[in-house]
Structure 1
Amino acid sequence: MKKTLLLLFLLVLSFVQVKAQNTYYFPGETFSEEIPTPESFLGYEIGEWHTRYDRLVAYFEKLAEVSDMAELHTIGYTNQRRPLVVLVISKGQNIQNIESIRSNHLKLVDPQAPMPDVSSMPAVINLAYSVHGNEPSGGEASILTAYWLLASKSELAKEIRENAVVLIDPAINPDGRDRHSNWANMHKGTPPVADPLDREHNEIWPSGRVNHYWFDLNRDWLPLAQVELQTKIAWYHTWYPNVVGDFHEMGTNSTYFFEPTKPFGSENPVIPRKNYEDINSKFAAYFAKALDDIGSLYWTKEVFDNSYPGYGSTYPDIQGGLGLVFEQGSSRGHIQNSQRGPITFAFTIRNQLRTSIATMEGGVKEREYMHRYLREYFQTAISEANSSRTKAYVFGDEFDQSRNRLFLKLLLDHKIKVFENDREINAEGKSFKKGKSWVVPTSQPQYRMVRSMFEKVTEFADSVFYDASSWTMALAYGIPYSSQTVASTGKELTTLPSLELHFPQAGKYVAYLVDWSDYFAPKFLHHLQASGVHVETTALPFTSNTDQGSKDFPAGSLVIPTGFQKLSATELHEAIALAAKASQQHVYATTTGFNLKGIDLGSNNISAVREPKVLMLVGQGTSQYEAGEIWHLMDTKVGMSISKIDLGLFGRVNLYDYNTLILTSGSYNSLGAAQINHLKDWLNRGGTIISLRMASQWLQSQEIAKEEYLTTESAKGPDFVPFASRRDFEGAQAIGGSIYLGHLDITHPLGFGYRNVEIPVYRNTTIFFKPSKNKYQTPVRYTQNPLLGGYVSSNNLEKVKQSASVLVSQVGQGRVIHFVDNPNFRGTWFGTNKLFFNAIFYGDKM
């Protein structure tokens, strides 16, 4: 009897809790009892705790199990092996015929296909949450959205199930989400603490915003540096959703933001005006009503960016859909004080839930319009291309097959049509050889993506940018390219071309030789050094008589002598073969040290390559983005581990265990006098510091490096600026991210492997150093007409012209290599990565 009463009490309590939560999130609605509520499955009300990702996925699995209106798809895995899932929801008949629906929908993106009957086609709506892991309200809203859509008996829910296929990404960044969820849950008080200074609201480094490699995934939709977005984009192009909701959080004192964004100033130049002026306004009405109904405040037409193509809310715009950014003022925990009073986690979730439902409602109500727009978008892409003077782009690096392939993969991943170049082309001072270059015609459905990849834009409607003002990917890859007024193409490329690598047969050789020009040559070098192979490099070019005849080897090329090895001839041959296969490098062999031209193989201009022992300081006060870029670069492009040591542990570090120290942007003022003296002593005795951006300022402040800042007389500004204009006026003086042309000394060890003295660099700082007083130690300085793409004020442009991009400070027997411009920005700048590789492998040769 007691047991029965206890069960009855628990059932009543559960009913009261469910009713209370449904009253808050879904007032006045009734639900099917066949669909388990989130709180009955998870054991707590949504908003009471931050839901771990595995529990979120488990709930979605349960929904797919109990309902014939839901399917759960695993589309990939994160670096930490969390599944990337998409929950597909529609009426049962649609789920049974989902492939037929998808195939019919894809006809809309093919201007050559017959136009389907859009009146009977369901809307395709993608709701994407938590691309920033410490913006958790979206992930919780995904749970409630899925429950509501499957269980609600409302007419609106029925209409959406009947007329839409809804694709729910619960978290694009599961690794970062769990990092933040664990932090918030482990610091939750009872009762919760609303003080913004409480530990719960202030994560340690790295934050949950970033993924495993400390990348901001909401900048990765264009470059595709990370596995999460590689997976997402591959999936995206199997659907081309009509509407994509991209759910974020912002500062606690803000309310709620939805589109439209700032007219013209925050808009992408390749997107039709119809998107911004017509479609955005249609959908804004749905969002306004949804938030008005619950009395939540909001704002529009300000700040947030729609120009950079790499956001989750802009990439869909460039694929014929409507991308929508939502920003909720964050509780950054379970409750936090704001200027309007305490903000609860549940409150932030409810707002995201409301706009999620409104996105689906708008997508269904406007579905025929959006279907026609999707077809129109790709049709007008071709008509715009046909009216453009530029008919094609030709590109290719004759000496770097790996960088060519990396760029080709990027184009193919974005569904851009690429063709082999079937003729010799000389244009704009560049030579493009048949078989080693490719053509991208502009007359294709992805014309607007082609423009994003190749166009250089320097004129803008606004001078204030939320993020980057330039994103020309061909410049980021450092690929030689030219526009063409005629599109002459060979065979279309559908997959990456196969490689035919040269490797010498076993024999009696004096040395093996490898050109350093290829992007993955550093990977080859690391593999050899890890195998115990002694490797040397040349400071001057030579021509050798190899197993393939006469072959030129530029400065920086690798020389592997056979006479100074601990390995036997057979073991050496096998080690080189394994390294060559792993890095896809051509290897040549010679039977003589007497070269046909230039220095011989025994020259003093050929010296041993020191094996790098690299330490990077990380932690609070340093840039998690720059550190992550370096970690990811060395992991994925070289296969080389580096020691990441927290700044707080520097007192325990014996620097003499390392020969290279990397300092990313940040503050190192926590280091004491004894630690700084240890650093100076190590540096003077031959150490190498690789310093990025603001780290160089810190080194200057400590008189560790002694370079000169550029000081020029600034143009006199106005004596008075209206207070309301202060943000725009000051913002115009920043360099938010633009591309410049530098002059590279290819004879300097930092320039080894480059064949062209012109090099595009990415700048997003107003740090200006004069070129080094040592005339040999400014390997990259700007040209006199440097701006290639993006916005810069006239005053800052004059400073750029007179300053250094990369310079080297000699300190005793050591050196500091200053990268004023980040050579590894967002895992995108393959064209400048080699500067960084050279700093690591050839740092002692400056």
Structure 2
Amino acid sequence: MTRFLFSLCTLFVFSLTAQQLKSPSEFLGYELGSEFTRHHEVVDYYEYLAKEAPDRVKLTFYGQTNERRPLLLVFVSSAANMANLENIRNEHLKNTEGTGSNSKAIVWLSYNVHGNESVSTEASMKTIHELLTNKKAYLDDAVVIIDPCINPDGRDRYSNWYNQYKNNPYQVDPNSKEHHEGWWSGRSNHYMFDLNRDWAWLTQVESQQRIKVYNDWLPHVHVDFHEQGVDEPYYFAPAAEPYHEVITNFQRDFQVTLGKNHAKYFDANGWFYFTKEIFDLFYPSYGDTYPTYNGAVGMTYEQGGSGEAGLGIITKIGDTLTLKDRIAHHFTTGLSTVEVSSKNAEKLNAEFQKFYKNRNFKYKSYVLNGDTDKIDALKSLLDSHRIEYGMGSNGSAKGYNYNTGGNGSLTTSENSLVVSTNQTKGTLVKVLFEPSAKLSDSLTYDITAWSLPYAYGLDAVASTTLIPSNKAQGTDAGGVLSNISTDHYAHITDWNSMRDARFLADLLKNGIRVRRAHHPFSVEGRSFDRGSLIITKGDNQHKADFISTLRTLSTKHNKNVVGSSTGFVDSGKDFGSEYVQMVVEPKIAVLSGGPTSTLRFGEIWHFFEQQLHYPLTVIDEEYMHEVDLNDYHILILPGGGYGDFFNEEKLAQLKDWVKKGGKIIAMGGAINAIDGEKGFSIKKKEAEKDSINKPMPHENVQREQLKQIITGAIFKAKVDNTHPLAYGYGSQYFTLKLGSKGYQYLENGNVVYLEEGTKPVSGFAGSEAQKKVDGSLIFGVEQFGQGQVIYMVDNPLFRGFWENGKLFMANALFMVD
């Protein structure tokens, strides 16, 4: 009887505590959905829950954003599970080895990766409150991990903007200002990067910090909550084709199971939804695909709204869509996901074990050779994903040769990187390294090629046999072997990678004068290629701490600097030759605002501040006409839609500045704004069109249009590596082509180009689109008076992950004069 009374009292106290937990509305002081909650208020609410229900809620801060906002995860489960949380995690991870005994479902809910898709974070607060009160039974067999806001900087940018411009009360007329964000929207993070495309590449600080915790858990189910256009009904799984071939039947089937459960609730409420359309599972860097390739059932849920919807808006069919409606929909699918996962915990654990059993992939090993800096850069990425690798030995490896596109061999050494699919992360290895991913449907949502050997500019073979390897040392192992002394006439170092570019940028910022070699040379028995950096004692007599600074910077950048007692070369050009020129410390500006794409601008901004570490002036289009360009050496025009931005007056000023010695770097869509019709020499390349229109069924039109597009395919391009824009490169470059726009060869200065008849080595390119880019320019330089125009048709900085393209940008800044 005493035991019964004690249990009854415990149950009463627990129920009372649950009832006393404030709802988001009660805590915030306004009805949820009537305002946009700022990020610090969201954090306050989760901290409140962790304080009031510490036996069932654990809050962890896993990092902070560029703008110093906290990134947090919230773990919620039953009191018994939370008391055993670390053991649950360990047993779950043992399932990747087939030995775990975990019986709980691990569900990870990610909200607000796009800042202006702001309903997500609001819904997260309602969801956790419901799990702690009315739906706490779901937590007996589930551990739920909630990331309330992946992108706090973008969310607050949108929330603050909306609060500034909304009507009071809010205006549902779509024409009202509150429904029209400006160029600097809240979608992206601080650097205008799309965090939903960064899960695999980890270029952004939010992704880098999140992936550490994600790999500590590797959930069974991961949901990425999004918003789409105002007039779209709700989307949930199952996903559309193409599915990547590594996705298991269970992962596909469980999406159907979840979708049917969601549909049950939506049907009961009369809410509209769609499935199996638009959002596929192929490109590996999404919040649904990356988890899927790590064993989860990964899904995207899309609610109509985004930054356009505000607190309420009239849709095209005359309905009013409110923030409260949007919260209700995400709240429903979030709870439904936990419900189904909890009921299927045993099945999820069993299938998770099966996923990590050795898969019989065609290629067992990927073997890579190349510049040490590039190998180290790739190692760093693999370390972040906890992908194992080793180093080879003297011999050879046979298999698919990435350079030739056929069977071949690669000479191996102790410097060869070997990555095998025979490891825990084997499926992810296959997806990231495979030469060409198999497309089940060419109608896809994103790029169709990304293979890391191409992205990092490494020679590689994919072998059908397991290549033995030795345990690899960490990146930058071995230390610096520099020979820096006051006795040397000059100090020399190579030019092959972004590490070299960062070293040069640091030298210039520290007042060290540097020369570059425009011809190969040898001195005192050592050979150096074009672009090599020469730092002479004579050039730096003005700097009393020259040697100590050089030593410090060479150590910082792990650069091997070779000393020379003379400037008299054995072959090539002496150090006083006109072919050994001083590197100008360039003052660089980039255009921002209306004509430019936020994403393309952000890639440049991030490149300078977080990769090159070199100062950049941002000039907005609103006041560009007031800026004296003579204060700058270089103007970068990011890709975008320029329209008639460069009118006759602006164009005349721009051309006059270039003629006097200025340098334009025109990227992607910016080239249209200054092409041959505007006074520069570059001209579009048009493919011959079939003048006969052929009738076809309406339902076939979309697929017929695929012939005209390129969805992120990789092409093998020729390189003139005698040109300064290509210093540090070989005779070929694998370019990621994102569109079908082609430009004719220049009269001179064709540095990187596609030869006629070139086909993609990986990814989808429509037959008509291939004709447009056949025999076309990729990167070129036009001499214009005393200045230059550098054309970058393809984007070497795309999403920050095409590592092998970045040196072209560094060359454009420091090598081309």
Contact in 1 for aligned 2:796/2:808 (Cα 8 Å)? yes
How many angstroms does 1:86 deviate by? 0.6
**2:743 is paired with a residue of what secondary structure?**
coil
Q: Which of 63, 68, 78 is the equivalent residue of 2:65?
A: 78
- Equivalent runs, 1:566-715 vs 2, <5 Å: 566-568=541-543, 571-668=545-642, 669-700=644-675, 703-714=678-689
- Equivalent runs, 1:72-151 vs 2, <5 Å: 72-111=59-98, 114-116=99-101, 121-151=103-133
The change in CA–CA distance for 1:145 and 1:782 in structure 2 (over 3 A counts) is farther
Contact in 2 for aligned 1:48/1:346 (Cα 8 Å)? yes
Q: Which of 771, 776, 779 is the equivalent residue of 1:806?
A: 779
Q: Which whole-Å CA distance do the structure 2 matches of 1:748 and 1:483 have between them? A: 32
1:186 is matched with which residue?
164
1:63 is matched with which residue?
49
2:4 is matched with which residue?
none
How many angstroms does 1:621 deviate by? 2.8
Q: TM-score, normalised by structure 2?
A: 0.93
Are positions 1:415 and 2:386 aligned together?
Answer: yes
Contact in 1 for aligned 2:367/2:461 (Cα 8 Å)? yes
How many angstroms does 1:128 deviate by? 0.5
Q: Which whole-Å CA distance do the structure 2 matches of 1:585 and 1:607 have between them? A: 21
1:502 is matched with which residue?
481
1:781 is matched with which residue?
754
Are positions 1:234 and 2:207 aligned together?
Answer: no
Q: Which of 333, 338, 346 is the equivalent residue of 1:360?
A: 338
Are positions 1:530 and 2:509 aligned together?
Answer: yes
Moved more, 800-809 or 491-500: 491-500
Identity %: 33
Are positions 1:169 and 2:108 aligned together?
Answer: no
How many angstroms does 1:526 deviate by? 1.4
How many angstroms does 1:724 deviate by? 3.1
2:11 is matched with which residue?
none
The change in CA–CA distance for 1:300 and 1:129 in structure 2 (over 3 A counts) is same
Moved more, 456-465 or 184-193: 456-465
Contact in 2 for aligned 1:196/1:337 (Cα 8 Å)? yes
Contact in 1 for aligned 2:242/2:439 (Cα 8 Å)? no
**1:665 is paired with a residue of what secondary structure?**
coil
Residues 530-567 of structure 1, C-alpha deviations (whole Å, 9 max, x = no match): 1222211111001122xxxx321100111112112243
The change in CA–CA distance for 1:418 and 1:683 in structure 2 (over 3 A counts) is same
2:427 is matched with which residue?
448
Q: Which whole-Å CA distance do the structure 1 matches of 2:39 and 2:409 have between them? A: 51
Q: TM-score, normalised by structure 1?
A: 0.90
Residues 343-370 of structure 1, C-alpha deviations (whole Å, 9 max, x = no match): 1011011100000100101111111111
- Equivalent runs, 1:292-303 vs 2, <5 Å: 292-303=267-278
How many angstroms does 1:39 deviate by? 1.5
Are positions 1:35 and 2:21 aligned together?
Answer: yes
Query: Structure 2: which 5+ runs fail to align?
Result: 1-14, 402-407
Are positions 1:764 and 2:751 aligned together?
Answer: no
How many angstroms does 1:432 deviate by? 4.7
Q: Which of 514, 521, 524 is the equivalent residue of 2:493?
A: 514
2:262 is matched with which residue?
287
**1:705 is paired with a residue of what secondary structure?**
coil
Contact in 1 for aligned 2:676/2:682 (Cα 8 Å)? no
Residues 667-700 of structure 1, C-alpha deviations (whole Å, 9 max, x = no match): 3434454332211110111111101111101111
Q: Report the count of equivalent residues.
A: 790
Moved more, 416-425 or 363-372: 416-425
Question: Aligned letter for 2:49?
Answer: L
**1:166 is paired with a residue of what secondary structure?**
strand
Q: Which whole-Å CA distance do the structure 2 matches of 1:503 and 1:716 have between them? A: 65
How many angstroms does 1:512 deviate by? 1.0
Are positions 1:742 and 2:717 aligned together?
Answer: yes
Question: Aligned letter for 1:739?
Answer: I
The change in CA–CA distance for 1:93 and 1:328 in structure 2 (over 3 A counts) is same
Are positions 1:842 and 2:807 aligned together?
Answer: no
2:249 is matched with which residue?
273
How many angstroms does 1:32 deviate by? 3.2
Contact in 1 for aligned 2:588/2:616 (Cα 8 Å)? yes
How many angstroms does 1:799 deviate by? 3.1
Residues 117-140 of structure 1, C-alpha deviations (whole Å, 9 max, x = no match): x5xx11110111000001011110
Question: Aligned letter for 2:316?
Answer: Q
How many angstroms does 1:496 deviate by? 3.2
1:336 is matched with which residue?
313
Moved more, 587-596 or 720-729: 720-729
How many angstroms does 1:226 deviate by? 0.8
Q: Which whole-Å CA distance do the structure 2 matches of 1:122 and 1:370 have between them? A: 9
Q: Which whole-Å CA distance do the structure 2 matches of 1:196 and 1:449 have between them? A: 43
How many angstroms does 1:309 deviate by? 1.1
2:10 is matched with which residue?
none
The change in CA–CA distance for 1:819 and 1:572 in structure 2 (over 3 A counts) is same
How many angstroms does 1:426 deviate by? 6.3
Contact in 1 for aligned 2:62/2:73 (Cα 8 Å)? yes
The change in CA–CA distance for 1:459 and 1:88 in structure 2 (over 3 A counts) is closer
The change in CA–CA distance for 1:701 and 1:747 in structure 2 (over 3 A counts) is closer
The change in CA–CA distance for 1:718 and 1:238 in structure 2 (over 3 A counts) is farther
Moved more, 452-461 or 50-59: 452-461
The change in CA–CA distance for 1:259 and 1:716 in structure 2 (over 3 A counts) is farther
Contact in 2 for aligned 1:806/1:817 (Cα 8 Å)? yes
1:730 is matched with which residue?
705
Query: Structure 1: which 5+ runs fail to align?
Result: 1-28
Q: Which whole-Å CA distance do the structure 1 matches of 2:467 and 2:146 have between them? A: 42
How many angstroms does 1:315 deviate by? 1.2
RMSD of the TM alignment (CA)?
2.0
Question: Aligned letter for 1:90?
Answer: S
How many angstroms does 1:56 deviate by? 0.2
Contact in 2 for aligned 1:741/1:783 (Cα 8 Å)? no
Residues 769-800 of structure 1, C-alpha deviations (whole Å, 9 max, x = no match): 011122x4344434744412100112222333
2:404 is matched with which residue?
none
Contact in 2 for aligned 1:740/1:782 (Cα 8 Å)? no
Moved more, 319-328 or 199-208: 199-208
Contact in 1 for aligned 2:681/2:746 (Cα 8 Å)? no
- Equivalent runs, 1:418-567 vs 2, <5 Å: 418-425=389-396, 428=401, 432-457=411-436, 460-493=439-472, 495-496=474-475, 498-545=477-524, 550-567=525-542
